[in-house]
Structures are given as C-alpha cells and as structure tokens.
C-alpha cells in the first residue's frame, strides 16, 4: 500500500493535493487504524495525490483545550502550525471530527490557515464528481444502516447531510434514530470524556445511544468519528449484540462496497 | 373626584417608573461586573439573529405545541400593551377611551382583536399551568427547579390570567354602562367580554362604575406591578432575549474562544515573535486564567444568565443530565444569575461584594458538574434565545486546570501524555506511523 509521507514528497520536491491528518486515534487505536487504512485505500484507488505527516504529526490539542488546559493546547497548536506551514500545507482532510473542528475553527486564530475538510465531505465529493462509482444493487442493497451523528460534525459544524449522502450512495436502507441531526444524542466521549471515567449517574450515555441505534433494527451502525466508534461499539457489546450488529466508519463501508 | 384619580394615577406611574429604573440600573451594574468583550463579526448576522430568533421565535418552534401557546402570550403581550398606552393617557388626562372618537368604528374592531388575544393568552396560560402542575412535564420538575423557580413561573401565569379577566370585566361593565351614560363611549359589541354582560346587567349604575373603575385600576396597577416583578424574575427574557440574541456568538458551535494572554506567553516560550501585541495589552495585568467567579466571565455571558427563562430545553437535551449526572446546563445559568444577584445586593448594601468568601465555582457550581460535560452543544442548540452554557463550563474548567491543577486525575494523565508523547494515550511518539506497517 502506498502511504507517502510529506517528508518523502518534499525531498522529491513534490507537494500533495491534500494532507491526510490521521489523528491520534487513527494512529494508535487498533480499531480506528482499520479506518485509516480503508481511507488510504480509497485515496489510492481514486488516485488522489496525498501525503501523511507520519511521526511528525502530534495531537491537535483538542482534549487539552476542552479539559481546560489552554497552555497545553496552544503549545500543541503552535508546534503543529509550524510543521504544517513548514511544508506549505494548504488543504487537510481528516477522519476525526475533533481534529477537523480544531484545525478548521481554532487554528486560524493562532495563525494556521488551511482548507480543512472532514472525510465524510471528502467522500461525498468523490462520489458526486464520479471519482468513486457505486455499483447498483451492490452488497449493501436492502441492508439497514443507521447513522450516528457526531457532535463535532453536526451541531459543532453543521455537517449533517454529507455522511448521509455517502450512505445513500451505498444503495442501503438508511434508517434514522429518533434523536438525529440537530437533536442527535452524543455518544458520551466529547469534551475529553473519552479519556476519563464518567461522573456518577444512572446510566452510561453510550449504552443509551446504542439502545436507540439498535431499536431502529439496523444491522450496521455507521459512524464518522473515532470516539463515537469506540463508544458505540462498547454500547453494542454491553447489549450483547456485537455479533448481529456492526459499527462501521463511512470509509470502511465505501472501501467494502468498492471491494478494496 | 376625577382630579383625585388623575393625581393618584400620576403618583403610581411615577413611583413604578422610579422603582423600575432603580432595578434596571442594578441589573446593569451586575452585568457590568463581568469582563468587557468586544462584539466582533458580521453585524447584519447579529441583527438577523434578533429578528429571526428573538422577534420571530424561530427556535421555539422546534417544539410546536409550547411554541404556539407561547406565541399567543408573546403577541398578546406586545399588542395588548398598545391598549396600555390608552390606559396611561386616560389615566393622566382623566379621559375615557380617548382613542375611540378618533378611530370610529375601527376602534371596535381593534378592541375585539385585543379581546381575541386576551382570550388566547388566557387559554395559553391555563394550558401552561396544566403542563407544569398537572401533566408535570419533567423539565419543570428537575433538581434545580426548587420551590422558588416553580412558584415564579406559576405566579406569572396566574397573574396573566387575572389580568385578562380584568380586561374582560372592565369591557363587560363598560358595555352595560354605554347604554346608560354617554360618558362611556360606544365601542360596538365586544365579542368575548359580552359573555360576561349577564353578570353585570342587573347591577346599579354606581356599582357598575365602581366595577369598571376597579377593573381598570386593577389592570393598570397589575401591569405596573408586573414591570417591577419582572426585574426580579426569570421573565426578564421578554426584554433581554433581544439583547442576548444580538450578543450571541457567531462562530461555529465547535469553536472555543481563544485566550490571547496564553497565546502571548506560548509564543514567547517558543521564541516566536509576538508581533500583534500592543504595549497596553502587554502591560495589562493577566488576571485569572479561566473563571472562578462571575467577574471572570464576560458581561455577555452574564447578560445571558439574566435572559434565561428556565424553560429547561437545554437540560432536557443534555446527555449528562439525561443519564443521571449532576450537570444541568439550566442550573449553570441559574447559578450565574443567583451569584450576580448576591454580589450586587452585597455591593449595594455596602457589603463585601465579590470578596464575601464565596465563589461561583465550588459554592454554586461544583467540579463534578462541569467535569460531566461532553461539550456536545445540545444545550446550545436547544436554547430558544441563543444562550451558551457550554462557554461558562469551559471557562470554569480552564480555571480548575490552569490555576488549581485540579482536573480529574485521568485528565492530568492525558495532559502529561500529550506533553511527553504528543498523544493523549501512553504510546510512544516514535510508534505513531506504525499503522502503515500492519496493513
């Protein structure tokens, strides 16, 4: 598999069309690494000239900022901006809505100006302009899929339709949960909750959300965020449905449909 | 006799005006306890927000039934207050229905329209009371809805119902009097109040005059009393929603406000030039990082706390609250307001004000509450008047993290991991690209 780093391209005097920002979960989390690989396969299949930062990438600082540690966030942001600007990066695609939000909305104030795009929008564009061609009546025909809105795509950045259009292209049966789009229920991981135990309460948020998803009768729960992936998978396991119901990222579904 | 009424009316009007002014100044002083924050960004977008969200009630309509009932009360409030203008002129000039001769038969049409709205307000308020006290919609009974907030809501609803009855009684008595005394200008038949005419028909003219006057005075004093009461109540939203929607944040909801003071420090630590710093900004005392008390929050956020009408749509959408955690975005707003009132009261009484040994964090809002937030923006999305409880939660977290190093242990571990491995987990930075090998 071809995974060029930006340093390799720079050594050859080349610049990529787009930088794929992998993110910490995409780099280290065993489950989300498979999403990273799926997305790279799609990029290669379509022939998009991309690059990754490899070991030069570091945390955007999102969890630090949301947990209140502004110093740490800005240290991370400044260091990342220096690297990105050093390579003359103009356009970034990422499969993590948290990285996406931080790079897009919070780096400009610190001097980092890039065109930042989430992989759901990127995939939608590839489908719309014909670079990804979906086969009629593929393996997804009739499969019930429900989409779980990531807060950092939906409410945070008003991206509700792009992921749904990607799923519709699969020719699958898209069913909605009761709470969706602007009223979508959080998976419970945002705001740095991913990294700590929840406060005392009656239920776990991810279990409640998983129940909602299971109630749709869908056999696939589509997500577009590494934290939602973890939370929803755990929720489905909690309900002992992991054999019947799969939690998949958009990129994995597209790669699967394309036979990649 | 007439002149006595005019003088009394003038005195009542002036007294209410003086009192309301005093209260408005207090509220303004309380809001100004906050940090000054320039409103940046597109002004036309701000005006659009006022027109669509405050004036047009757009976000109310996410829940259609209460939205329609609320619309009746809202339109009723705006339009019936036109009639109050006539009340005030009549009261001062000693006239009766001064607009009637000028408007001719249109006056009757107008009065019928007002009565229609009064009836709509009355029905809406009765249904609201039922929703709160009989149906017991959960968001009106959650933990922070203690005795006073519940009473506050009920008091206003009951007052409105009584005020609407006063209008109908006044108009009914008036219609009977029109047939007996030419001082009572013909209004034509008034649809809703004419149902009450049988109650008044057999009364003597004197009794009727007293009844009509009593209802008139009751209504106008009720309205003046309401104006004073509002300044102590959650009902400030009827005015402040307009200011709050104007001041509301325009950036995408995912954006967290930058801290320029930190940017300057980080830049100098990294040896980057600090170009955009003005000398004045560099010399300004840094103050606290984040917020411990209300004076650490911006005045815009303090204004939003007074704009909150405790409807609880935020809390009813909050994933933390829904799953039994202590966090309630509505309580955050109520706490900010209560702390402002406490400090303002203390300052006015020559007390210690902000230095009373209490703070917003800890004495009102606990760490357990703010730590439970997922920053999902459900509360922000739900608020019909664009209040942002999340901004306050994040400012409190900033104080805890940067001034106290008091974040949860697992977050402190995350901070350490990011500092040493550049990832929130304890993985080596050198292994970051290993995913490329396994595939």
Kindly list the structural domains of chain A, giving each domain's residue range(s) and its CATH number in brackets, ordered by start.
6-123 (3.40.50.1860), 134-257 (3.40.50)
Q: Does A36 contact chain B (CB < 8 Å)?
A: yes
Beta-carbon contacts of residue B1 (< 8 Å; ≥ 6 apart): none
CA distances from B55 to B81, B248, B385 (A): 16, 15, 10
Residue in the structure block whose two tokens are 């929803």: A232
CA B23/CA B301 separation, integer angstroms: 19
Q: Which residue has 């050859």 as its token pair?
A: A12
Give residue B296's pLDDT: 97
CA pair distance B300, B32, nearest whole angstrom: 9
Inter-chain contact B254–A36, Cβ cutoff 8 Å? no
In the structure, what pLDDT confidence band is assigned to residue B272 with cuts at 50, 70 and 90? confident
Report the alpha-carbon distance of residue B317 to residue B42 in Å, rounded: 29
Asked whether residue B51 carries a pLDDT value surpassing 60, the answer given is: yes
Cβ of B371 within 8 Å of Cβ of A199? The answer is: yes
Q: Whole-number mean pLDDT of chain B? A: 94
- Return the pLDDT at B83: 86
Q: Which long-range contacts (CB under 8 A, 24 or more apart) does A107-116 make?
A: A107/A77, A107/A80, A107/A81, A109/B258, A109/B263, A110/A74, A110/A77, A110/A78, A110/A81, A110/B258, A110/B263, A111/A81, A112/A77, A112/A80, A112/A81, A112/A84, A112/A85, A114/A84, A114/A89, A114/A90, A115/A90, A115/A91, A116/A91, A116/A92
Q: Which of A64, A66, A67 to mutate to test the interface with B (most CBs of B within 10 A)?
A: A67
Cβ-based contacts under 8 A for chains A and B: 214
For residue A155 the two structure tokens come to 């409410």
Specify the pLDDT at position B274.
64
Residue B178 tokens read as 């029109």
Is residue B12 within 8 angstroms of chain A, CB to CB? no
Inter-residue contact A31 to B385 (CB < 8 Å): no
Within 8 A of B382 by CB-CB distance, chain A residues are 183
By C-alpha distance, the chain B residue nearest A208 is B323
DSSP B86-139: HHHHHHHHT-SSTTHHHHTHHHHHHHHHHHHHHHHHHHHHHHHHHHHHTS--GG
Say what the pLDDT of residue A141 is. 87
Smallest Cβ–Cβ distance between B402 and the set A71, A106, A204 belongs to A71
> B277 by DSSP, 3-state: which?
coil
Bridge partners (DSSP) of residue A146 are A175, A221
Average pLDDT over residues A139-163: 95
Task: For residue A37, give the nearest of B255, B290, B435 by CB distance.
Answer: B435
Residue B284, pLDDT above cutoff 70: no
Q: Using the beta-carbon criterion (under 8 Å), do B408 and A196 form an inter-chain contact?
A: yes
Residue linked to tokens 């491995």: B421
pLDDT at residue number A125: 97
Tens of pLDDT, residues B393-428 = 999 999 999 999 999 999 999 999 999 999 999 999
Report yes or no: B289 at the A interface, CB cutoff 8 Å.
yes
B contact residues 338-367, partner A, Cβ 8 Å cutoff: none
- Report whether pLDDT(B439) > 60: no
B275 vs A contacts (CB less than 8 Å): none
Q: Say what percent of chain B tops pLDDT 90.
A: 90
pTM over 0.80: yes
Contact A68 B401 (CB under 8 A): yes
Phi-psi group of A192: left, alpha or beta (phi > 0 → left; psi -120 to 50 → alpha; rest → beta): left
Per the structure block, which two tokens stand in for B314? 């935020």
- In a mutational test of the B interface, the residue from A20, A21, A50, A68 whose CB has the highest number of chain B CBs within 10 Å is A68
pLDDT at A213: 98
Q: Do A33 and B438 touch (CB under 8 A)?
A: yes
B258 contacts A106? CB cut-off 8 A: yes
Residues 6 or more apart whose CB falls under 8 angstroms from that of A33 comprise: A26, A27, B435, B438, B439
Model confidence at B279: pLDDT above 70: no
**pLDDT, position A219:** 97
Cα of B280 vs its chain's centroid, Å:
36
Asked if the model's pLDDT at residue B280 lies above 60, the reply is: no
Instruction: Give me the percent of chain B exceeding a pLDDT of 70.
Output: 96
Residues of A in contact with B323 (CB under 8 A): 188, 198, 201-205, 208
- To the nearest 10°, report the CA torsion of B410, B412, B414, B416: -140
User: What is the CATH architecture assignment of B261-423?
Assistant: Orthogonal Bundle (1.10)
C-alpha closest to that of B262 among B403, B70, B422: B403
Please, where are the H alpha helices in B357-434? 367-371, 378-382, 389-402, 409-421
Residue A11 sits at the vertex; the CA angle it makes with A6 and A14, to the nearest 5 degrees, is 65
| Cα B190 to Cα B171: distance, rounded to the nearest angstrom | 8
| Å between B372 CA and nearest CA of chain A | 6
- Above pLDDT 90, what percent of chain A? 95
Q: What is the mean pLDDT of residues A226-254?
A: 98
**What pLDDT score was predicted for residue B55?**
95
Q: Which residues of B touch A65 (CB under 8 A)?
A: 256
* Residue B286 confidence class, pLDDT cut points 50, 70, 90: low
Mean pLDDT, residues A23-39? 97
Angle at alpha carbon of residue B368, lines to B232 and B234, rounded to 5°: 15
What residues of chain B lie within 8 A of the CB of A110, using their CB?
Answer: 258, 263
pLDDT, position B209: 93
């Amino acid at each position: 598999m071809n995974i060029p780093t930006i340093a390799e391209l720079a050594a050859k005097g080349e610049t990529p069309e787009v930088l794929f920002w992998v993110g910490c979960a995409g780099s280290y989390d065993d489950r989300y690494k498979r999403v990273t690989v799926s997305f790279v396969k799609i990029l290669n299949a379509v022939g998009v000239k991309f690059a990754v930062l490899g070991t030069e990438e570091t945390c955007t600082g999102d969890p630090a900022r949301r947990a209140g540690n502004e110093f740490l966030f800005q240290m991370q942001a400044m260091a990342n901006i220096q690297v990105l600007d050093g390579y003359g990066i103009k356009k970034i695609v990422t499969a993590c809505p948290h990285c996406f939000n931080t790079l897009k909305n919070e780096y400009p104030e610190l001097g980092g100006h890039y065109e930042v795009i989430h992989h759901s929008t990127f995939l939608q564009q590839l489908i719309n302009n014909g670079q990804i061609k979906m086969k009629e009546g593929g393996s997804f025909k009739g499969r019930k899929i429900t989409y779980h809105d990531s807060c950092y795509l939906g409410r945070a950045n008003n991206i509700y339709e792009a992921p749904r259009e990607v799923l519709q292209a699969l020719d699958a049966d898209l069913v909605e949960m009761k709470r969706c789009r602007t009223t979508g229920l959080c998976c419970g991981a945002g705001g740095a909750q991913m990294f700590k135990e929840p406060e005392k309460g009656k239920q776990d948020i991810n279990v409640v959300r998983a129940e909602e998803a299971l109630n749709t009768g869908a056999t696939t729960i589509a997500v577009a965020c590494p934290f939602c992936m973890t939370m929803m998978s755990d929720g489905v396991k909690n309900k002992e449905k992991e054999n019947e119901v799969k939690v998949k990222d958009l990129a994995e579904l597209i790669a699967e449909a394309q036979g990649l | 006799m007439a002149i006595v009424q005019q003088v009394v009316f003038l005195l009542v009007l002036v007294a209410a005006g003086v009192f309301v002014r005093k209260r408005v100044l207090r509220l303004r002083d309380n809001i100004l306890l906050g940090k000054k924050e320039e409103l940046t960004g597109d002004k036309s977008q701000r005006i659009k927000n006022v027109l669509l969200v405050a004036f047009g009630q757009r976000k109310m309509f996410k829940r259609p039934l209460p939205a329609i009932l609320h619309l009746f009360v809202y339109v009723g409030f705006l339009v019936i207050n036109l009639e109050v203008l006539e009340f005030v002129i009549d009261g001062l000039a000693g006239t009766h229905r001064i607009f009637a001769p000028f408007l001719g038969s249109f006056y009757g049409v107008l009065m019928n329209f007002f009565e229609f709205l009064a009836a709509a307000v009355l029905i809406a308020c009765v249904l609201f009371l039922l929703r709160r006290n009989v149906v017991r919609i959960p968001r009106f009974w959650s933990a922070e809805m203690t005795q006073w907030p519940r009473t506050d809501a009920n008091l206003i609803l009951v007052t409105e119902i009584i005020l609407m009855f006063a209008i109908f009684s006044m108009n009914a008595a008036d219609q009977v009097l029109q047939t007996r005394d030419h001082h009572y200008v013909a209004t034509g038949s008034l649809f809703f109040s004419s149902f009450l005419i049988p109650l008044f028909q057999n009364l003597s003219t004197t009794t009727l005059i007293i009844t009509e006057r009593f209802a008139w005075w009751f209504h106008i004093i009720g309205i003046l009393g309401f104006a004073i009461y509002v300044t102590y109540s959650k009902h400030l939203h009827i005015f402040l929603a307009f200011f709050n929607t104007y001041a509301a944040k325009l950036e995408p909801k995912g954006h967290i406000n930058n801290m320029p003071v930190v940017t300057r420090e980080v830049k100098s630590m990294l040896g980057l030039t600090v170009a955009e710093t003005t000398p004045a900004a560099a010399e300004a005392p840094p103050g606290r990082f984040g917020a411990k008390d209300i004076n650490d929050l911006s005045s815009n956020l303090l204004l939003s706390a007074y704009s909150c009408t405790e409807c609880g749509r935020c809390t009813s959408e909050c994933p933390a609250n829904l799953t039994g955690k202590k966090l309630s975005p509505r309580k955050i707003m109520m706490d900010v307001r209560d702390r402002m009132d406490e400090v303002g009261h203390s300052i006015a009484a020559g007390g210690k004000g902000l230095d009373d040994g209490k703070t917003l964090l800890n004495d009102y809002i606990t760490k357990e509450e703010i730590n439970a937030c997922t920053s999902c923006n459900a509360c922000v999305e739900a608020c019909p008047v664009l209040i942002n409880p999340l901004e306050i939660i994040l400012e409190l977290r900033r104080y805890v993290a940067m001034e106290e190093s008091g974040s949860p242990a697992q977050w402190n571990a995350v901070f350490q991991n990011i500092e040493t491995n550049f990832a929130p987990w304890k993985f080596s930075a050198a292994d970051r690209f290993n995913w490329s090998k396994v595939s």
